[in-house]
A and B are shown apart, each in its own frame.
Chain A
């Protein structure tokens, strides 16, 4: 049974940087019972920019790519890199659910190598459930909550073409990970199926020539699409690792160039609109004067409001 006040208390602890509050906070945010959702809203309120007085400090990074591209190995190396810089890291790994049984196999944490006694690393695996787009129902909220306590929050998803669109709505920086030889990304980029990532990572750079060619092709494709600023890096995450420090720096650099408040406020408003539509349908949206009306309503709200608060505002507007 959730006790009244749990959500707010957990949120306050996260705000104070208490990393040990994270697992219980995630349990609450993932829950769908009515009582827990109320508590979850209270939790999110405590870590909202309105209460924090600024955007949550963490760098939220989306890492996505096709299966077998080497995401987990890369994450292992990145986690080590961040820890070496004394930065705490939370990884939200999202795996697809089985259409048939609804269950899921979440195997990724086994592949990320870290010291279990290190309290500065948290890995949480979630199943995407019935959601399309690669994110689990609670991923957005989880990222928002953890961003108040951790220095880096990684959202890892599987796929290319669709998945990174959703990740882009949640993350400050999106890295798409591909292995040399797999031409999918190139095709998706050229066909415009894929959102242009902030950083493109070619793994398995120990494959030498092939990796270099893949990197060249991707850079050329990006230039032709008019995105010469997207960084393309080749890394090797297995010993002896190469390119990891450069990747850490490139992620950092992208984040430094962002207007964080603008990006995150827009993301929260978009998320609130999506959640509202899931709950109340197009019919509910029409009562707000359609999508444009809803957006106007949201634009009038405090930029620091969390997503549940914005959904509330939309619901009030409908009433």
Chain B
């Protein structure tokens, strides 16, 4: 057997040397249990955290709203409709203080899902801890802080790659010295799987990403002495995913722990076994959760939890489970409690924590691990050939779009069974979704205005000149690093960031200051490189229809696809764009983070026949009508279709507002959606409405 399959450094030391007992002398301590939570306001989220802790949750996992994640204040045009939706808005240290009110920061282990603005949120946390009399050395927790996967899969980036990597390296260098119990970064493979990654891609891209981060950190801490790399390596943790193929998924985690140790020893010269341990937290798969028969998601979540708990050698350090209704909308506290209880039953009722590694010596498991290792090493070599993870973002992105498309094809064609969705679809009415709101959390839309008002008060009451001074210092520190010679003597950005947090600056001001220095950035979409799909019967039939329509219109049917708002989960929009192309349409893919004005300008300038919008953040009730208004103002009459996580009860109002069709996760057959869209354009070509009018309203070539 390959010796490397059995890592020398085990996460836990088992039994007595060389001896194998069926049971552990003492039951293991459970992993840390968290719930990814936060919504509406800091105060409401604080109440939720306290209740969750009373229920036996052992750590916090903070969900921030999209404006906070992307560095905009609630009063920014781009924040419209997104404030308090998918998480809590935190604009300044006052919000952070309210969020952590009454929570013992010296003991708490707080995980923050925050990336582009991680340095800022950590600074706010440090400053609030100071106010509580808790020193930075005492703080424990994790900032997600993985920007490469934001470019690849999640979309909440704020700055271009190079300065983003500098921010990460600065945070690592800073925390190793001043906040030593903090995990400055969680390398995420989670979102790669959500974007369609195969297990091999998930391992390879996450490890390549880790290499990029460690290399950047090595440069940054180099001045402080080589010895620091041991500690840096030891502070890097992972955030992984686990799908329902839970045995292979477990093998994946074993493979990752082997690769990680190898990387530490060989590339970074790490010696200490403690530092070589592969430490990971997990949120299990959301991609596989269905809108159809959503109760089945409970079974899926339980099985996925087994993937990360069954084998002691690769068991998660921290777990948060999604809720059964995540494909329907935002989960309520009760839904999340159900998921916490799954963890507690697993940890406290079952015997899973009583044994040494139950897969040790399993030939099947070893072979699976070896297979994944081979694949991952080969794929890591490809990424390395591209010049490393940062340079390989376009390559990896395109590969993920391809994998995701392949996955969807298998489901559409029934090769991959999804119970309740493409098989066994007969169902009784579900009592779980019978209530007025359809079994989900609905955030009060009035909160956004209140948040904007509160922010104005904050700005009015703070010492404006101190804020200005702090931001000037931040800008000058940031400018130092973008000097062409890469001056290594420049300031660690955490220092002016903490000073700005203390002075009372806001999230939007911090990010804007850096955007002005670093410039803005748009990540590659991956759709342009996606290989064309082979036309089977259905798709080639559709191409025929598109050709006929082209004759009739005089132009090839042209569709605009984009995502309004701040939600960066572009996988759905990308798949629609690629399939529209494969159906024979001309596709203008606009990507993420669009304002209604941008969408309207594009639709008008491009002369599109139909517009497809995707929203998953729950902000459709505000954003879609705003887009429709902007289109009307621009004189565009092309029909609009909307896809995303749209609760059933919101469909009729959207239709009334003028949306031609609404698609939700239960509409998994994309070719069928394409057929609808082609029919919609065809109907428009028959009727009188112009697809595009000139801006002054005079009809111009209405069919074109």
Contacts and interface: CB of A to CB of B under 8 A. Distances in A.
Interface of A: 1-3, 6, 10, 20-28, 30-33, 36, 39, 68, 95, 97-107, 109-111, 113, 116-117, 122-127, 129, 206, 208, 238-240
A68 B535 CA distance: 29
Given A20-B694, A107-B528, A111-B522, A31 B604 contact: no
B555 A32 contact: yes
Contacts of A240: 482
A116 B700 contact: no
Nearest to A208: B484
B597 interface: yes
Contacts of A22: 605
B582 A110 contact: no
Contacts of A39: 701
Contacts of B591: 107, 110
B397 to A, nearest CB: 12
17 contacts: A23-B695, A24-B692, A26-B607, A27-B691, A27-B700, A101-B584, A105-B528, A106-B588, A109-B590, A109-B602, A113-B522, A116-B601, A117-B597, A125-B606, A206-B484, A208-B484, A239-B519
Nearest to A205: B484
Contacts of B543: 101-102
A31 B554 CA distance: 4
Nearest to A104: B586
Given A27-B691, A107-B527, A109-B588, 11 more contacts: A26-B607, A27-B607, A28-B701, A31-B554, A31-B703, A31-B704, A100-B582, A103-B556, A103-B583, A107-B591, A109-B602
Contact of A101 (B484, B582, B588): B582
A89 B525 CA distance: 25
Contact of B589 (A2, A20, A105, A116): A105
Contact of B701 (A27, A99, A129, A238): A27
Contacts of B693: 24
Contact of B704 (A28, A106, A238): A28
Contact of A68 (B394, B517, B555, B703): B394
A239 to B, nearest CB: 4
A101 B518 contact: no
B532 to A, nearest CB: 4
B581 A104 contact: yes
B695 A20 contact: yes
A39 to B, nearest CB: 7
Contacts of B692: 23-24, 27
B293 interface: no
Contacts of B602: 109, 116, 123
Contacts of A98: 532, 581-582
A90 B601 CA distance: 13
Interface string B550-564: 000111100000100
Nearest to B696: A20
Contacts of A10: 694, 700
A107 B264 CA distance: 39
Contacts of A28: 700-701, 704
Contacts of B165: none
A27 B555 contact: yes
A307 B527 CA distance: 36
B585 A103 contact: yes
Contacts of A21: 694, 700
A314 B392 CA distance: 52
Given A6-B701, A102-B547, A238-B160, A116 B600 contact: yes
A121 to B, nearest CB: 9
A113 B704 contact: no
Given A2-B701, A23-B607, A208-B484, A101 B583 contact: yes
Contacts of B604: 23
A123 B584 contact: no
Nearest to B591: A110
Nearest to A90: B605
Contacts of B533: 101
Most chain B CB within a 10 A radius of its CB, from A28, A107, A240: A107
B595 interface: yes
B616 interface: no
B582 A103 contact: yes
Contacts of B600: 116
Nearest to A110: B591
B580 interface: yes
Nearest to A98: B532
B450 interface: no
B590 A30 contact: no
A238 B535 contact: no
B702 interface: yes
A36 B598 contact: no
A36 B554 contact: yes
A113 B587 contact: no
B699 interface: yes
Contacts of B547: 102
A106 B583 CA distance: 15
Contacts of B583: 101, 103
Contact of A239 (B518, B553, B582, B607): B518
Contacts of A105: 527-528, 530, 577-578, 581, 587, 589
Contact of A23 (B562, B597, B598, B605): B605
A117 B596 CA distance: 11
A107 B525 contact: yes
A129 to B, nearest CB: 8
A117 B590 CA distance: 16
B520 interface: yes
B584 A36 contact: no
Most chain B CB within a 10 A radius of its CB, from A2, A95, A99, A113: A2
Contacts of A100: 532, 535, 582
Nearest to B577: A105
A103 B701 contact: no
Given A24-B693, A239-B519, A103 B584 contact: yes
B703 A2 contact: yes
Contacts of A33: 554, 703
A100 B601 CA distance: 30
Contacts of B535: 100-101
Contacts of A122: 605
Contact of A116 (B546, B562, B598): B598
B701 A104 contact: no
B614 to A, nearest CB: 14
A314 to B, nearest CB: 24
Nearest to B530: A105
A101 B532 contact: yes
Contact of A32 (B532, B554, B578, B606): B554
Contact of A107 (B582, B589, B597): B589
Contacts of B160: 238
A24 B701 contact: yes
Interface in B147-204: 160
A86 to B, nearest CB: 20
A210 B595 CA distance: 38
A100 B543 CA distance: 10
Nearest to B520: A113
B555 A31 contact: yes
Contacts of B695: 20, 23
